[in-house]
């Protein structure tokens, strides 16, 4: 029985040591787990702050890009407005040019009509002279024709009448 008591004492001491060792291991494992949790929390905090910093950076970039887009839109609107005024000026110039051309054409047609009327009167007068109805020196149309060839005559005034184009 003595031996049995010694075995029980040994087992009890041994069990106590084992129990203490287990407690120490558990304590060390708990500390290691706490360290890992702290490190994981730090890592997560670091990632969170990095993500917040990246988000803030992207937000600033988006604000800058939005401002640039707004500025470009204003520039585009200004260009469109300028193009509209340039187009309206061009349209006004084209209209003025058309009016000037039409005025020139109308003046030219009036001069041509006047010249044709004069030529018709001259032909009629020449036919009367040829028929012997009147004398060439008495003819008003012949006198006008003689004056026509002077620089201050009818041809010169007809050119002036046309105007500059």
Confidence class for position 57, pLDDT limits 50, 70, 90: very high
Written as six digits, the tokens of 122 are 């001259």
Task: Find the DSSP H helices in the chain.
Answer: 2-131, 140-148, 154-162
Q: DSSP secondary-structure letter at 133? A: S
Contacts of 111 (CB under 8 A, 6+ apart): 158, 161, 162
To which residue do tokens 């939005």 refer?
66
pTM: 0.41
138 near 144, Cβ under 8 Å? Answer: no
> Which token pair is 156?
């010169």
Q: What is the pLDDT of residues 71-92, one digit of tens each?
A: 999 999 998 888 888 888 888 8
- State what percent of residues in the chain have pLDDT above 70: 75
């Amino acid at each position: 029985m003595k031996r049995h008591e010694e075995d029980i004492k040994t087992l009890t001491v041994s069990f106590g040591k084992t129990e203490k060792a287990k407690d120490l291991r558990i304590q060390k494992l708990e500390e290691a787990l706490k360290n890992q949790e702290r490190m994981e929390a730090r890592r997560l905090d670091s990632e969170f702050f990095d993500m917040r910093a990246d988000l803030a950076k992207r937000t600033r970039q988006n604000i800058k890009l939005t401002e640039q887009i707004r500025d470009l839109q204003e520039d585009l609107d200004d260009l469109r407005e300028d193009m509209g005024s340039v187009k309206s000026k061009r349209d006004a110039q084209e209209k003025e040019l058309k009016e000037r051309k039409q005025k020139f054409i109308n003046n030219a047609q009036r001069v041509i009509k006047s010249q044709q009327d004069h030529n018709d009167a001259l032909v009629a007068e020449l036919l009367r002279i040829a028929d012997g109805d009147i004398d060439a020196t008495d003819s008003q149309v012949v006198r006008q024709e003689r004056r026509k060839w002077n620089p201050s005559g009818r041809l010169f005034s007809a050119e002036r009448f046309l105007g500059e184009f």
